[in-house]
Structure 1
Amino acid sequence: MTEFRDNLPQLSGELFLTDAGLETWLVFQRGVELRHFAAFELLATSGGRQLLREYYLPFLNMAAREGAGFVLETPTWRASPDWGDKLGYSGAEIALINRQSVRFMAEIAYCVPGAARTVLSGNIGPRGDGYVASLSMTAAEAEDYHALQIGAFATSGSDMVSAITMTNVPEAIGIARAAGKARMPLVLSFTVETDGRLPDGQPLGEAILATDAAAATRPAYYMVNCAHPEHFAHVLETGDGWRERIRGVRANASRLSHAELDEAETLDEGNPAELGELYRGLRRLLPNLSVLGGCCGTDHRHVEAIFGACRAAA
């Protein structure tokens, strides 16, 4: 799908869908035990690959049915060197897993009639915990760390890279530099706490502007993920020059904080219809918001409600 690399179709402003909370769907709705939240391990078995098909295909069929584009993310949020080491994989094995994930996702996309506007994205996560900014890195260290995973995507047919649940600016800058050197379009998604600030306390707008200023190749656009809309809508009410850079949202269904979610033993699914209406409100605050999906606790029902509310508003 390399024809999209230099001209991502979701930049047109048309509505695009993406998926939801893969890991929480697997754990709470399918009873899968994920080591360190690593969904990529399912790629190793036929049963695991079938579970991934059951998760992704309804989203792709929804997009095809509604005439919307789709950003298809690989299940590789944890497929980076440190997490791979914790799980017993070498760096070479992790690189191979990332390349194999792109091929597997491409096979899924080709199974869906009408899914021609599917953008295949190599998904990467933070080096540390996605809920806390506990691991301090320089931008140079982050660039070196994430280069392996980004390089694997660049050589396996991925159209872009998505860095999801970023907690701090130095890591974001390093990822942007690594993606630029690999000539891969990058979408960078920050997560925020209940006060609308990054886990390290930096305001969202400042984080976006600082990343743009320090990266030789700027991200194609930004997203916000793994937070309820009410956690960050208030910070979007003012601020020129950075709100326009946000084109995607993958919100949680739950209003719980990251700390509360980390301790939760049951799934807080929230209310899909309510979440859809909150996204409608976000579109009034974010003039370029067009990529719509979910994060922890969300599934196909939530994304369908989100798309319905936003399409009606459009």
Structure 2
Amino acid sequence: MKTYDLIIVGSGPAGMTASIYAARANLSVLMLDKLAPGGQIVNTNEIQNYTGMGTINGAELAIQMYQHTQELNVEFDYRTVEEVKEENGLKLVCCKEDGAVYAARAVILATGTRPRTLGVENEKKYAGNGISWCAICDGAACRGQDVVVIGGGNSAVEESIYLAEIVKSLTIVTMFDLTADPMACDKLRAMDHVTIYPYQDVLEFYGDKKLQGIHFKSTKDDGTERRLDCDKVFEYIGLTPTTECFQSLGVLNKMGYVEVDEHMATKLPGVFGAGDCITKNLRQVITACADGAIAAQSAAHYIQSTFKR
């Protein structure tokens, strides 16, 4: 079994940046991910606040990041990590495919997050058959249709602006008011055929064999209920950390996020975190990259001080 200096679990902006910094520190690096490199940004139409890039498609930025890792000969493999554990001073990364196990002197946990769901009636029934969590993946098929977006944060508003340009009508249903960047909110509010219903609870989705509409209720006035026919719903109501495979390490908080300090170090020596899966206040591409850089530097210092190389 080959032993690497560093294994990075996850290949989003945090993981890829960590791999770049680690490679430049002359560490042997393996980056693992069950999906294509890029993480959530692959499904983002426009990123407008990554310094120096202006407006860029998320998938394009992911490709550029990955190409950078390959210029430094970072090893990458498609693997589903099932567990990370410690044994004889090394970290063992156990994968689903072929029962593969990789060893490393240190690991960086950078698995990001996945979309949260509402858990209301018929949501599972229409998942992939009317309900989507990715406007970039499914938005093009909504041209000329009546579409609903659930959520009012940055992702919801940014993807709503994209959808509003191609759909017949767009309705925003959100538990609170719009909470995204004010400039983006102003742009969305000014668009034609966009209706916003703030302070609403989604009660159910309805339809026969496929989604036909959404039923929601006001939380501010007299509890007015509405049934709104639509062709497609996109949910953007928050994220859940993808960290189940790290539970045995004892480095997660009660919400499932990896607890780290300012050096991206967990309480377990040689285990570091980076990106959206860690405890932090701002989850953006640029902060994920910063996390990755810090985690890689901390991992390099740990390896140099702990192991004779």
Report the TM-score, using the length of structure 2 for normalisation: 0.28
Structure with greater helix percent: 1
Structure with greater strand percent: 2
Using CA pairs under 8 Å that are at least 6 residues apart, name the structure with larger relative contact order, 1 or 2.
Answer: 2
Structure label with greater radius of gyration: 2
Report the TM-score, using the length of structure 1 for normalisation: 0.28
